[in-house]
Amino acid sequence: MGFGPLLLLASLEGLVTAATLALMALGLSLVFGVMRVVNVAHGEFFMLGAVVAWAVSTAFAGHPAIGFSAALIVAPLVVGAVAFLAERLVLKRLNYDPEATIVATIGLLYIVQQLALTFYGADARPVQPPFNLRIQLPWFGYSGYKLAVIAAAGVLLAGVWFVLARTRAGLVMRATQYDAETAQAFGIPVGRVYAGVFALGAMLAAVAAVLIVPVSQAHYLMGRDPLLLSFVVVIIGGLGSLRGTVVAALLIGLSDGIISTLFFSPTLAKILATLLVALVLVFRPQGLFGTAAR
């Protein structure tokens, strides 16, 4: 394969990464933007989504599409419920204090991860994709499912944008983000908005996981790298900015795909990327696309 087709392949792989990353990072960014909570357990919600997807899809016999569609509905609901409970039982009682919530979500991370290891096991397990279609390009064949993942993520992102920008629920969320106290004074149930946003953030991670799990596999440690990458995306994109998050996810996903397929050893690529992001946070805390420092 020549350089051009290889680059195309790397870019396609990068787009798949970018698609899931954008969904997951958007969840993290929403939670941070509205609640000012850094959710370290976000990666575990992603993992939980994949594990539930595996459980649901193996429970259904017959065509893989049936199990997959069921997983696409059940997994976000289960994960959203877990997040909702965690928010009501723990985060709310901490008054969303930034440092205490970080410690608490670290605790949540350990609990979810260990329970997954205990009940699901240490094996990586595959989920059947809903359809097997191979799209033949002139240079190589490419999985149609992966292209569908990219499209689905695009649709979901547009949906989230629509909800945030054009609906009453989005208006309430934005008002809470802008000034929680004033929102409360205007009769917005801030507590319920917080619980809803936290659940929604977790559900976005779960959807990303269900979409990607037929391509990768469900494993109890699979939340770790996406969590770090999501942090990277959210920081580069500017905390709490939807457009920035999507642009940054594309940037990171593509460069991750291209760099790790074409150039360095993956470890060195990770070192450089992490260092770069840390320095961005040090010298440009509002992110590359954010407007004002918070």
Partner 1 sequence: MNDTSAARIWLLHLAVIAALVAAGFLLPDYHRGVFSRILVLAVFAMGYNLLLGYCGLLSLGHAMFFAAGLYGAGLPLYHLGWGVPAAFVAGVAAGGALALVVGALALRTVGVAFMIVTMMFAQVAYLTTLYFTTWTRGEEGLVLPPATRRVGLGDTVVSLSDPASRYAIALVLFCVVLLLMLRLVRSPFGRTLAGIRENEERMRMLGYDTFRAKLAAVVVSGLACAAAGAAYGLLFGYVGSGFASIQYSILPLLWVLVGGAATTLGPLLGTAFMFYVIDYASGLTTAWLVLVGAALIFIVLFFPKGILGTVRERWLTWLP
Q: Mask of contacts with partner 1, 169-208, x by CB under 8 A?
A: ----------------------------------------
With the CA atoms of 74, 190, 173 and 31 taken in that order, what torsion angle do they form, in degrees rounded to the nearest 10? -60
Q: Is 282 in the site for partner 1 (CB under 8 A)?
A: yes
Q: Is 122 in the site for partner 1 (CB under 8 A)?
A: no
Q: Is 274 in the site for partner 1 (CB under 8 A)?
A: yes
Q: Is 166 in the site for partner 1 (CB under 8 A)?
A: no
Q: Is 270 in the site for partner 1 (CB under 8 A)?
A: yes
Among the listed residues 148, 151, 157, 145, the one whose alpha carbon sits nearest the alpha carbon of residue 249? 157
DSSP 8-state class, residue 288: T
Closest distance to partner 1 from the beta carbon of 87 (Å): 13
Burial (CB count within 10 angstroms: exposed 0-12, middle 13-18, buried 19+), residue 173: buried
Helix (H) or strand (E) holding 135: strand 134-136
Q: Mask of contacts with partner 1, 213-252, x by CB under 8 A?
A: ---------------x--x---x-----------------
Instruction: Count Cα neighbours of 53 within 13 Å in the Cβ-side half-sphere.
Output: 37
Site for partner 1 in 28-87 (CB under 8 A): 38
Q: Is 277 in the site for partner 1 (CB under 8 A)?
A: yes
Closest distance to partner 1 from the beta carbon of 165 (Å): 26
Closest distance to partner 1 from the beta carbon of 44 (Å): 10
Q: Cα–Cα distance between 166 and 158 in angstroms, integer?
A: 11
Residues 289 and 248: beta-carbon distance below 8 Å: yes
How far from chain centre, in Å, is Cα 38? 14
Among the listed residues 37, 152, 23, the one whose alpha carbon sits nearest the alpha carbon of residue 83? 37
Q: Mask of contacts with partner 1, 81-120, x by CB under 8 A?
A: ---------x--xx---xxx-xxx-xxxxxx-xxx-xx--
Q: Cα–Cα distance between 77 and 199 in angstroms, integer?
A: 9
Residue numbers at the binding site for partner 1 (CB under 8 A): 38, 90, 93-94, 98-100, 102-104, 106-111, 113-115, 117-118, 228, 231, 235, 265, 267-268, 270-271, 274-275, 277-279, 281-283, 285
